[in-house]
Amino acid sequence: MLDYEETVISPDVLKPLVIRALRRSSIRKKIAEYLFDISPSASYTSEIAHQVKTTPTNVIGALRGMGSRYKEKESLIHLNIIEPIEQHRTDIKLYRITDFGKEILQQVQDRH
């Protein structure tokens, strides 16, 4: 059975949704910009929070979604801007920007 919530959306349809999500949340935008700046490296939640001057809870919300403040459908991971990297030897989750995320950020930055 096909789960419609997990249906893959084409990049052309996703781009306006991503740009809207970045405009609606300065934290999401700062996180994406930070990970863009350190690309291809990845970072962990506390370091991202330190770099964008917010709390780890806000970073987790922006990355994955959390309640009504950070909707999961507008999260950076759900929108394919950021991807988690599983570390098999540690419990630390790292996050890095995707190629799609880089493309979107370049477009947003070119407009300003």
Quick: pLDDT tens for 70-104.
Answer: 889 889 999 999 999 977 777 788 999 999 999 99
The span from the CA of 41 to the CA of 47, in Å, is: 13
Is 28 strand, coil or helix?
helix
Q: What are the structural domain ranges in the chain?
A: 10-111
pTM: 0.85
Residue 1 has pLDDT above 60, yes or no: no
Mean pLDDT score across all residues of the chain: 86
Higher pLDDT, 93 or 12: 93
CATH of 10-111, one of 1.10.3720.10, 1.10.390.10, 3.50.50.60, 1.10.10.10: 1.10.10.10
Dihedral (Cα; 103, 104, 109, 110), 10-degree rounding: 70
